[in-house]
Amino acid sequence: MARVTHGPSSKKRTKKILKRAKGFRAGRGNLHKMAAETVNRALYFSYRDRKAKKRTFRNLWNLQINALARQNGITYSKLIHGLKLKKIELDRKVLSELAKEHPDIFVKILEETRLVKK
């Protein structure tokens, strides 16, 4: 019986990693061991930063909402509290879009939240 070698499968694994490492500089792009380490690290970073991106955008939306709210004489926290009491269910992404694109509508929403009794 012939001896089984792992040539084709290991070559396939190597090619898969080197394909992912395309564009990396120096040995990171063409040496298998170094490329494997770099690709694994890059995959970890991409997974981690997909989560961080959500936090970053939420912070940005909060800043944009707060900026226009303060221009109209109300703080961010009072605005959000007023929205909850009035049961206006707009998320922060939509509120920031309104603040940027349609400030007149945003001001109407601010007026609604000011009418809330504490």
For 15-53, the pLDDT digits (tens) are: 999 999 999 999 999 999 999 999 999 999 999 999 999
Q: Is residue 6 part of a domain?
A: no
Q: Is residue 91 part of a domain?
A: yes
The domain total for the chain is 1
Q: What tens digit of pLDDT does each residue of 44-102 get?
A: 999 999 999 999 999 999 999 999 999 988 999 999 999 999 998 999 999 999 999 99
Q: Is residue 4 part of a domain?
A: no
For 105, the domain range is 11-114
- Tokens 């970073």, residue located: 45
pTM of the predicted model, to two decimals?
0.72
Number of helices and strands in the chain (H, E): 6, 0
3-state DSSP call for residue 33? helix
Domain with 56 in it: what CATH number?
1.10.1900.20
C-alpha pair distances (Å), 5 with each of 14, 33, 78, 91? 15, 20, 70, 58
Q: Is residue 3 part of a domain?
A: no
